Amino acid sequence: MSVIAIWIDRDHAKLFEISSERMERKTIQARHTDHHTHRPDAIDLKNHEGTFFHELAKSVNSADRLLILGPGVAKYHFRSFLTEQMPALAKKLVGCETVDHPTDNQIAAFAMKFFDLKVG
């Protein structure tokens, strides 16, 4: 069984795939288009999120259970994206929690406690 904890903000997502044998970490960067001549509007942000969220969803598709963590609204936007665009993957979601900016080790510890797992 594989569980994945995702810590997400608007700039990147950190994935922690945890099984009873191991834990793997991966980072996915959001690809911002930098326009110095105008501020991004709602359409720009929606397109950016769609691309970022599709890439992220592909990376977590193999999970049996998902946990989303993060400091702001990106975690809720990703949860909504899954519900609307990928309902089969959304059914694997078991939590969406607010955490500020923890270290990777703190994220891993939070996920291990949440899923009641021990590696090794």
Task: Kindly report, residue by residue over 22-54, the tens digit of the pLDDT.
Answer: 889 999 988 755 555 555 545 445 545 668 999
Task: Judge whether 106 and 25 are in contact, CB under 8 Å.
Answer: no
Strand residue runs (E) in 9-100: 12-18, 23-29, 65-70, 93-98
Q: Give the total residue count for the chain.
A: 120
Rounded Cα–Cα distance for residues 31 and 27 (Å): 13
Q: Which CATH superfamily is domain 3-115 in?
A: eRF1 domain 2 (3.30.420.60)
Task: Kindly report, residue by residue over 85-112, the tens digit of the pLDDT.
Answer: 999 999 999 999 999 899 999 999 999 9
**What 3-state class would DSSP assign to 5?**
strand
Rounded Cα–Cα distance for residues 71 and 14 (Å): 13
pTM above 0.85, yes or no: no
Rounded Cα–Cα distance for residues 45 and 117 (Å): 36
Rounded Cα–Cα distance for residues 5 and 63 (Å): 10
Domain boundaries, the chain: 3-115
